[in-house]
A and B are shown apart, each in its own frame.
Chain A
Amino acid sequence: MIDIDNINEIWQTIARNKTRSILTAFGVFWGIFILVILLSCGNGFKNGMMRQIEGFATNSAFVFTMPTTEAYKGYQKGRQWEFEMSDIQSIKNNVKGIDIITPVTSIYTYNGDNNVFYSTKGGSFGIKGVSPEYNEVERSKLLYGRFINETDIVEGRKVCVIGKKVYEDIIGLDKNPVGLMIKARGIYYQVVGVVQTYNENVMINGNLNETVLLPLTTMQKAYNLGDKFELLVFTAAKGSNIKDLQESVKDIIKERHDISPTDNEAVMSVDFEQLFKVFEALFTGIAVLIWIVGIGTLMSGVVGVSNIMLVTIKERTREIGIRRALGAKPSLIIKQILEESLLLTVLAGIVGLMIGVAIMAVVANFVNISSEDAVMFVEPNISFVTAISATVIIVLSGLLAGILPAKRATQIKAIDAIREE
């Protein structure tokens, strides 16, 4: 099928008629180039938007407690209540389809008094008790050391993981913080790690960068919280619906805490899925629009190639006539014109693809350097799959562009070469 000799012949025709070839190929080059630029920009905006909510498991939900609004089982309405550690196990046992479930509790600093100190330097930060799984829900970048682990929880170790801003403010960037002792609300903890949040726009009970994370069990003991906690975070396993899970979780919680099944306000929950869905729909719409515009541009390029090739076929009557006189069969002429068109469009398309990707890489680099926080435009590039589909489109359009000129070329008879004098 692949005939090197034939390809050489075609390449020669293309390469030795440079102006003609470049003019012919430009339309396709431009079409693909614009398509790549548009798709990359679309992706850039999408990534920018997604970064706003990045760092959170997209299928996560938060459940928190509110005063009851109905009297039930002898309790009056307006009762304050809290989660207990045993709730976790009970939910794990009774609700199918939960991937991660983790408790969180916080101590807030109200009037901005300094509550965390290293040596003599202090600051006002949030203190949050978590378990190791918490890292799966609010994802963060580990700058030093490690996150809280299972042993910390079991042994109730006095260790802490601090946010980046805590580290900056009270320890200072010039010091390795791991192993240092800091004082939070009057109790000393050893720093085992430093984390930086991926995203300052979405947070659970305060900015992670400005938080001291303690093992939940340590925190409960140290500050006399019993086995209570205030926030339940969970994620849906693949294939299960976060909405349904929230209802199941709420039902169990209500039963365990003697809350009326009809009380809709005592157990509240929030999930990100809906938000994500809106974003997804928006960007799918934009992507469709981009493809329509891009393919349109490409099609006009293809029509251009076809058109110019038609004109050149007219010009090439003599060449094709000579070829016919020398024994070229019509099928070979068709093959040659089609392959010429294919080779031209594929080359032009790939060059367009590469230049488009290269330019967007430069733009991406520029955007990254100029603004770490200007998150509206992030990583404007196309995926490998997109590049492949663009290539397939180029090949198809090359064949498409060649059909008409090839047909015209077969109508040229050998005798035309001699007549044209």
Chain B
Amino acid sequence: MIKLEGINKTYFGAQPLHVLKGIDLNVEEGELVSIMGASGSGKSTLLNILGILDNYDEGNYYLAGKLVKNLTENQAAEFRNRFIGFIFQSFNLIPFKTAVENVALPLFYQGVPRKKRNQMALEYLDRFGLKDWADHYPNELSGGQKQRVSIARALVTSPKIILADEPTGALDSKTSVEVMKILREVNASGITMIIVTHERGIANLTNKIVHLKDGVIENIKENNLGSIDLERDVK
């Protein structure tokens, strides 16, 4: 599903900062992968490149078999809209839109008619138990609810992959467990998922843990999930 070949990225500022120094990574369809690393290890940059939010200097990035390189803004927008669902640490819901409108927004950019996209959005909210909260604004929702709304928004376009940037970073441990449960369920339905986190407990709930250090992959650890107790293992 995702194939990275020798990805290099340098930020040119007052002092050039070589953030990614040749990343090679394969993620198969349906995998649940976490990327771990200390602050400054380049994990966020990697996620941005994966999400086509940022471009890279060298190497090749294949998403669903297509080379993602030197895209125009329009192509990038199209790719993000069709293939990628984002989940952010700070939820990034639009404050003046209700839950259902937030979820429906990606469909608006696909040109889905209003009625249909609201109906689809409602279905996804229902799936995460938020049907009754559909007409609430983000500031009327709890952190867990907000993150569930943003998961619904990420899923509504039926993307190929979900990219989650510290999805539990702003949540307490109990809510974190709930959210991880949902993300695992989503993954179980066949959607490839990449989670960036610095919490070991979260990473341990994924099939594969990629450790990043100083812009290179330190190691990739297969994680046998067998039977897992979410409550215990998150913390």
Contact = CB atoms under 8 A, between A and B. Distances in A.
Interface in A284-323: 318-319, 321-323
A111 interface: no
A415 interface: yes
Contacts of A329: 73-74, 77-78, 109
A332 B109 CA distance: 9
A12 interface: yes
Interface stretch (B23-31, B81-89, B187-195, B209-217): B81-89
Contacts of A5: 108, 113-114
Contacts of B86: 325-326
Interface in A325-378: 325-332
Give the residue among A329, A331, A417 with the most B Cβ atoms within 10 A.
A329
Nearest to A319: B94
Nearest to A318: B92
A243 B53 CA distance: 79
A85 interface: no
Interface residues of A, number: 27
Given A332-B109, A418-B53, A418-B165, A325 B80 contact: yes
A324 interface: yes
Interface string B102-114: 0001101110011
A414 B44 CA distance: 14
B96 A327 contact: no
Contact of B48 (A12, A327, A418): A418
Nearest to B78: A327
Contacts of B78: 327, 329
Give the residue among A318, A327, A329, A421 with the most B Cβ atoms within 10 A.
A327
Contact of B80 (A318, A332, A414): A414
A13 interface: yes
Contacts of B157: 327
9 cross-chain pairs, A with B, having the tightest CB-CB distances, nearest first: A327-B81, A16-B96, A327-B109, A415-B53, A329-B77, A326-B106, A414-B53, A330-B73, A322-B92
Interface of B: 44, 48, 51, 53-54, 73-74, 77-78, 80-82, 86, 88-90, 92-97, 101, 105-106, 108-110, 113-114, 153, 157, 165
Interface of A: 5, 8-9, 12-13, 16-17, 318-319, 321-332, 413-415, 417-418, 421
18 contacts: A5-B108, A9-B108, A12-B101, A319-B95, A322-B93, A323-B105, A326-B105, A326-B106, A326-B153, A327-B78, A327-B82, A327-B157, A328-B109, A332-B109, A414-B80, A415-B53, A415-B54, A421-B89
